[in-house]
């Protein structure tokens, strides 16, 4: 399926396409969901483990941007872990529990009046057939969605998970 068919006309459709991008390990679908100013925001407890220095001040930051997110996700989909510990998974499942729209929030930040925040419980499962094992992560992801053209894009993905 080509990117032109990825519509993201509603917040629900956007999040369903996110699940699909993971299931199909399709980095092109994934990229079509992210706003160019995308940020992935880490839990404070994860910064020392996986944070990277985004602003070149010599300290790990609690977020990374679009290019890093695409690189990390492509690696997860197709290449395995950067340290060679894990091969690419044989199967990836991302399950989002999208709450009803009355539980969505308006972004209170100035300039974000038309943004929507959707907190989703999620389960991410990476399965490896050869070792008959899996890696799972779950928790809450807060998606900050902003309108873009005739659809929606993910502007911020704030991780509130337990790995």
* Distances, alpha carbon 115 to alpha carbons 36, 40, 41, 50, 83, in Å: 15, 16, 17, 28, 37
CATH of residue 137's domain is 3.10.450.50
d(C-alpha 45, C-alpha 57), whole Å: 20
pLDDT at residue 53, rounded to an integer = 63
pLDDT at residue 13, rounded to an integer = 96
pLDDT bin (cut points 50, 70, 90) of residue 109 is very high
Tokens 């299931």: give the residue. Answer: 23
Range of the domain at 21: 3-162
Domains identified in the chain, total number: 1
d(C-alpha 49, C-alpha 28), whole Å: 28
Strand partners, 74: none
Pairing between strand 63-65 and 105-106?
unpaired
Contact indicator for 133, 142 with CB cutoff of 8 Å = no
Q: Is the pLDDT of residue 47 over 80?
A: no
Evaluate if pTM is beyond 0.75.
yes
Note the pLDDT tens digit of each residue in 65-79.
999 999 989 989 998
Q: What is the mean pLDDT of residues 121-135?
A: 91
pLDDT at residue 51, rounded to an integer = 62
Burial class (CB in 10 A: 0-12, 13-18, 19+), 55: exposed
pLDDT bin (cut points 50, 70, 90) of residue 2 is very low
CA of residue 163 relative to chain centroid, distance:
15
Longest dimension (CA), the chain: 50
d(C-alpha 143, C-alpha 138), whole Å: 15
Q: Is the pLDDT of residue 55 over 60?
A: yes
Q: Is the pLDDT of residue 43 over 50?
A: yes
Mean of the per-residue pLDDT values of the chain: 87
Pairing between strand 105-106 and 34-41?
unpaired
Q: What is the mean pLDDT of residues 99-126?
A: 94
pLDDT at residue 3, rounded to an integer = 45
CA of residue 50 relative to chain centroid, distance:
15
């Amino acid at each position: 399926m080509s990117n032109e068919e990825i519509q993201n006309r509603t917040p629900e459709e956007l999040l369903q396409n996110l699940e699909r991008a993971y299931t199909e390990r399709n980095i092109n679908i994934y990229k079509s969901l992210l706003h160019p100013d995308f940020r992935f925001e880490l839990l404070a407890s994860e910064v020392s483990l996986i944070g990277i220095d985004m602003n070149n001040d010599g300290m790990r930051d609690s977020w990374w941007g679009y290019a890093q997110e695409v690189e990390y996700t492509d690696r997860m989909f197709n290449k395995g872990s950067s340290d060679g510990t894990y091969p690419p998974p044989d199967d990836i499942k991302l399950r989002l529990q999208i709450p009803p729209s009355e539980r969505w929030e308006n972004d209170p930040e100035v300039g974000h009046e038309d943004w929507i925040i959707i907190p989703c419980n999620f389960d991410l499962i990476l399965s490896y057939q050869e070792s008959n094992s899996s890696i799972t992560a779950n928790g809450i992801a807060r998606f900050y969605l902003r309108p873009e053209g005739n659809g929606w894009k993910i502007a911020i993905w704030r991780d509130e998970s337990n790995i």
